[in-house]
Amino acid sequence: MNANRFRTLPVADADPELAFTFEGHPLAARQGNSVAAALLQAGVVAFRRTAVSGAPRAPYCMMGACFDCLVEIDGVPNRQACLIELRAGMAVRIQQGRRQLADAEPDDE
C-alpha cells in the first residue's frame, strides 16, 4: 500500500512548482497549494509537537478550526499551514511546544 495518500491529481495546465524548505530540506509543490497541502504531499507526517508529551501532530480539519497544523514560517511561529498559500522560498519549520503569544505592547499616549 502507498504510504503517501496525499498526491496531486494530474491536470492539463499544471501550475508551476515552487521551491521551499521544510526543516532545511528542499521541497517543491504546485503554486496555489496551501503550505499544509504541500507538506502532506511531500510525505511530512508531523507539523508540530505538543507541549506536554511532545507527541507529533498534523493537520486534522484543513480549514483553520483545529490548530493542529501550526508551523513556523520564515521565522514566524503559530502560522496555520492549512490557511497559508505556499510562496517560493518559504522556510517552514516544525512548531515546538505550545503556541506562543506575542507580548502586548503598551499604548503610546
| pLDDT higher than threshold 50 for residue 104 | no
The answer to the question of residue 21 being in a domain is yes
Number of independent structural domains in the chain = 1
What are residue 35's phi and psi, to 5 degrees?
A: -60, -40
**Global pTM?**
0.78
What is the mean predicted confidence (pLDDT) over 41-64?
A: 90
Give me the pLDDT at residue 91, please.
98
Most distant CA pair in the chain: distance in Å? 63
The answer to whether residue 59 is domain-embedded is yes
Report if residue 102 sits inside a domain. no
CATH code at 68?
Answer: 3.10.20.440
Percent of all residues in the chain with a pLDDT value above 90, rounded to a whole number = 58
pLDDT in tens, 26-52: 999 999 999 999 999 999 999 998 888
Question: Closest by alpha carbon to 40, among 75, 68, 76, 74?
Answer: 68
Residue 18 is placed in which grid cell?
515552487
